[in-house]
Amino acid sequence: MIKGIIKKGLYFDSVTLMIISKDLNKIKGISDSSVVMGTKENKAILKMADLYINIFDNSDDTDMLISINSESEKSYQNALNFIEEKLNSVRNSSDDTNDFKPKSFESALKLMPDANLSLISVAGKYAVREVEKALNSNLHVMLFSDNVSIQNELLLKTKASEKGLLLMGPDCGTAIINGIPLAFANMVNKGNIGIVAASGTGLQEVSSIISNLGEGISQAIGTGGRDVKKEIGGIMFIEALKALENDEQTKLITLISKPPHPDVLKKIAVEIKRIKKPIVAVFIGADEETVANSGAVPAHNLEQAAYISVALAKKEDYETAIAKLKSRKDKLLSIAEKYSKNKTGKYIRGLFSGGTLCDEAQLLLKGSLGYTYSNTPLNPDYQLKNIWKSQKHTIIDLGEDEFTSGRPHPMIDFSIRNKRIIDEANDSETAVILLDVVLGFGSNIAPDEELSPVIREAKLLSPNLSIICSVTGTDKDPQNRSKVITNLKNAGAIVMNTNVEAVELAENIINL
């Protein structure tokens, strides 16, 4: 049946009415309808659509005509009520549309003409163009993206250094500039230690330990891991070092990297010798001589680098700091005894989310356990046959591409690691599970909630299993380090202060 009414003198624009009509037809029992103003043209349209009723003869331009083809009186009334509601809401609606977002770097720069840093994390194949645009507009760049060719990296870094601009990356996961943590970074104290790092998690670990020891960071500049390779020649590493030399806030400088190419190390060494500020260097995996030759105060691992830096910042003797670290051996032994007594398996299974922490663990264990199996082994003979299955002592980096393809980084997405923890707990050969938990911006906001149930489950499966964690981060991080530690302990994990300490404890449990 077709019924309708005239609303005298009620004006709405045609578009509003068309929207109402469109929604009206979705009401159950309404096959067609129309809400229009009573103009000649509209009446003609209504006639054509078979929605014209005779009462409309007595209407004109300023009247609203409502015509409804409904299957029952009830649906007709529903429709009228709906129209009433809609008309009211149109006039009282608030605007909740989002603000405009620029679609390109160029227009973002127009909206923020004094921008000074471009943070780029689009897929590598598109990132080069974005970096070029930023450098051309004299912006410093942090390039989080990976999969940028080494040729492009060289071109872009050469351009940046000619222009006096920072280009952190590609594959730079961490930086702290003017106290602002960028990408994966921690909320650390401000202070006078400047860091240059070709390793993201290395930077996170060192800056967090420094902050937890009460000192602070002036600037922490990431360069991306490839910067110290022969092809790039340490362009940004050296530029960043010079910048920290000239920075008044920075009183001492800490360098973090895997062993640079010998040619690059030579170039870095020239700068280290020239610069008057104290410089601490940790080149993870490099031999003693190499580091000593660089002219920097050598640190053997990330923890030591942090402790030495803190001692120097306090103008204390750093040998004392090193001695203090060594003196904790007895304490670690006594903890190890407690867990070693009932151990059932024989092997360490290290499941890491931070690449540098994984390397560091393998290096530390090499001393007493020899090479460990890994997807990123120190010795190619120890490549895991199947990365999903551990062999003897196994230390894996879950942040590598073979694990992450199609899913977020394991610092964000815990699912792969959680599953692996259970697999290892089910393996009777496992004595110790070693984990890193990296906090800070960018990382999972509640790692304790992700891990605790899994730790509990693993402990149920294998009650004498030792699960050892270190937690990289600070109490100012969004996750709050103290809270995370408490929760992990409550779940049954042994939580150590640093990655080095966690590895040493694991080593002791195995060796006892």
Partner 1 sequence: MSINNIFNKNLKIINTGIESFKENAEQAGAVSIQVDWKPPVDIDDEVWEKINLKEKEINRANQNALNIILSGKPCLIGMDIAENIIPGMKKNLILHSGPPIEWERMSGPTKGAVIGALIYEGMAKTPEEAEKLAASDEIEYAPCHEHDTVGPMAGIVSASMPVFIVKNEEYGNLAFCTQNEGLGKVLRYGAYSNEVINRLKWMEQTMYPILKKAIENLGKIDLKNIIAQALHMGDEVHNRNRAGTSLFYRAIAPAIIKTSENRIEMAEVLDFINGNDHFFLNLSMPAAKATLDAAKNIPNSSIVLALARNGTDFGIRLAGTGNQWFTGKAPIPDALFFPGFTKDDANPDIGDSAITETAGLGGFAIAASPAIVQFVGGTAKDAVNYTLAMYEISFAENNIYQIPYLNFRGTPTGIDVRKVIANNLTPFIDTGVAHKKPGVGQVGAGVLSAPIEPFKKAIIGLSKELI
Is 97 a binding residue for partner 1 by CB under 8 A? The answer is: yes
For residues 436 to 475, the per-residue mask of contacts with partner 1, x marking binding by CB under 8 A and - elsewhere, is -----xx---------------------------------
- 56/430 Cα distance (integer angstroms): 85
Provide Rg for the chain, Cα atoms: 32
Stretch that binds partner 1, among 73-81, 182-190, 340-348, 497-505 (CB under 8 A): 182-190
Contact with partner 1 (CB under 8 A): which of 26, 103, 315, 326? 103
Residue by residue, DSSP assigns 280-318 as: EEEETT--HHHHHHTTSEE-SSHHHHHHHHHHHHTT--H
First to last CA, the chain: 90
Least spacing, CB of residue 181 vs partner 1, in Å: 6
Site for partner 1 in 111-130 (CB under 8 A): 111-112, 114-123, 126, 129-130
Is 405 a binding residue for partner 1 by CB under 8 A? The answer is: no
Site for partner 1 in 238-297 (CB under 8 A): 239-240, 242-243, 246-247, 249
| Cβ partners under 8 Å of residue 295, min gap 6 | 269, 272, 273, 279
How many residues bind to partner 1 according to rule CB under 8 A? 79
Q: Which residue number, 51 or 506, has a Cβ lying nearer to partner 1? A: 51
Least spacing, CB of residue 246 vs partner 1, in Å: 5
Q: Which amino acid type is present at position 464?
A: N
Stretch that binds partner 1, among 47-55, 56-64, 257-265, 375-383 (CB under 8 A): 47-55
Least spacing, CB of residue 118 vs partner 1, in Å: 5
Is 33 a binding residue for partner 1 by CB under 8 A? The answer is: yes
Least spacing, CB of residue 209 vs partner 1, in Å: 20
Secondary structure of residue 66 in the 3-state scheme:
strand
- 78/59 Cα distance (integer angstroms): 24
Q: Which residue number, 66 or 433, has a Cβ lying nearer to partner 1? A: 66
- 240/253 Cα distance (integer angstroms): 10
- 24/28 Cα distance (integer angstroms): 9
Least spacing, CB of residue 250 vs partner 1, in Å: 9
Q: Are 63 and 8 in contact (CB under 8 A)?
A: yes
Site for partner 1 in 194-233 (CB under 8 A): 219
Contact with partner 1 (CB under 8 A): which of 37, 46, 253, 302? 46
Burial class (CB in 10 A: 0-12, 13-18, 19+), 356: buried
Secondary structure of residue 377 in the 3-state scheme:
coil
Which of 263, 443, 275, 221 lies closest to 353 in space, CA to CA? 443
Least spacing, CB of residue 3 vs partner 1, in Å: 15
Q: Which residue number, 448 or 477, has a Cβ lying nearer to partner 1? A: 477
Contact with partner 1 (CB under 8 A): which of 37, 148, 166, 369? 166
